[in-house]
Chains A and B, each alone.
Chain A
Amino acid sequence: MRDREPPRDRDGELVRLMIAYQAGGLDAFTQLYAELAGELRRYFAAIVDSGAVQDLMQDTFLEIHRSRRTYLPPLPVVPWVFGIARNVLGRHRRAAWRRRRSEERAIAPGDEKRWSTGPPPPPSMALDACDFDAALRRLPAGRRRVWMLRHIHGLSFQEIGDRLRIGAAAAKLRSSRAMKTLRMALAGAPDPASGCPPAKRAGEDR
């Protein structure tokens, strides 16, 4: 029945939740999230690659939380939320542009060689390295960058956050998601597009 309600009622409900949220109600926030997350996800999914959607969702709701006083009741909530989403998206694009530029300049040629043209690994490791290289390349740029800074350059999450202008928690989240994706990619079937032969499971060489 709820789906059949006219939009005006939903607007009223969102305004009521927003006022309760500004008054400090956690339940109101969780209900607002439930009401708005789907729309925001579709909005971001239509614009950016799927790997960045979750990060943008999280950043948007964090920004909504920080800026909740800028909502002026009883104005409609949805335009305000999407105004913030556009703001977050703009920051994300600027950060991605800066990151691409700094990656092009800052990553030493040695780092590239390490993954593609370095000395040939021992035969037992060759296939794994090739798979890994392909899996790493398939990661979204933001996650790949964090993962490399963490696991190759050995930076702390705080240092990564400072360098990429994101929070330490966001850096940790991206690194963790990158690691999860890599594990899944390496455990699963080989990607024909990578040009690598099928990965060997541990113990297959014996």
Chain B
Amino acid sequence: MVTGDRQVPASLLSAVRRDLRPVRPLAAPLRRALALLPIGLALLVGVPAVWGWRANFSALGLAAAWGLSGAQTLAGLLIVGAALREAVPGRELSARYIAATLGAAAALFVGSTLVTYQLAPVVQPSVWVRGAWECFWMEAVSSLPVFAATVWLASRALPSRPALAGAIHGLGAGLMTEAGVRLFCRVSTPAHVLLSHGGAILLLGVAGALIATLVEKWKARKH
């Protein structure tokens, strides 16, 4: 029995022999996430540059405008790095790690929203409702480049929990996009930012979970 266990079956050996080209190991998850830094910076500057800078930008000051957006970009990259780690077999994240990462990201998002509201309040009645739909789709569409890049990175690994890995990817991509969108959107009412912008981030999380699951199913069928 032991001998049989140690001997490679002929069919497996021939399958391995057929495709034995040298492969380069994937880089560490954080290094791969850092490869998205140019896209993150492009979103940070590109979104407001394309859609227009918020009217009350100067009221925010350097730290609340660029500082908080920069922190959101960095947090988004770290979250993508965590998702890339989750996608490597045997390196799955613990529930505590996931809760801490996502909790910190949520705290940063809510904190930024409240600070922005304090520094540059826009309290026109019902304006946040009118702009909600617009911001929701603008954020979702703007995130497509970074979202596509994270999906591509995720598809190269082999997540045991594809839905979880994809959801974390999507949330990271969403936070990176929010860093730029908050420099465009002049409505600082927390209800608007949390529902509209936050809703878009959640949508990306759901889309990430769905796409990662489909990609894994497709890979399983392919083989």
Contacts and interface: CB of A to CB of B under 8 A. Distances in A.
Interface of A: 22-24, 26, 29-30, 33-34, 37-38, 41, 58, 61-63, 65-73, 75-76, 78-84, 86-87, 90-91, 165, 167, 169, 173
Interface of B: 2, 5-9, 11-13, 15-17, 19-26, 28, 88-92, 156-160, 220-221, 223
Contact of B90 (A26, A58, A83, A169): A83
Does more than half of chain B's interface fall in helix, strand or loop, or is it mixed? loop
Contacts of B88: 70, 72, 80, 83
Contacts of B23: 22, 24, 68-69
Contacts of A62: 12, 15, 223
5 contacts: A29-B20, A37-B6, A38-B2, A61-B16, A65-B19
A37 B1 CA distance: 11
Contact of A69 (B20, B26, B223): B26
B127 to A, nearest CB: 48
A90 B25 contact: no
B213 to A, nearest CB: 11
Nearest to A33: B8
Contact of A83 (B9, B28, B89): B89
B6 A70 contact: no
B15 A65 contact: yes
Contacts of A34: 5-8
Contacts of A72: 25-26, 28, 88
Contacts of A75: 90-91
6 nearest A-B pairs in the assembled complex, by CB-CB distance: A83-B89, A79-B90, A83-B90, A34-B6, A24-B22, A80-B90
Contacts of A68: 23
Contacts of A69: 23-26, 156
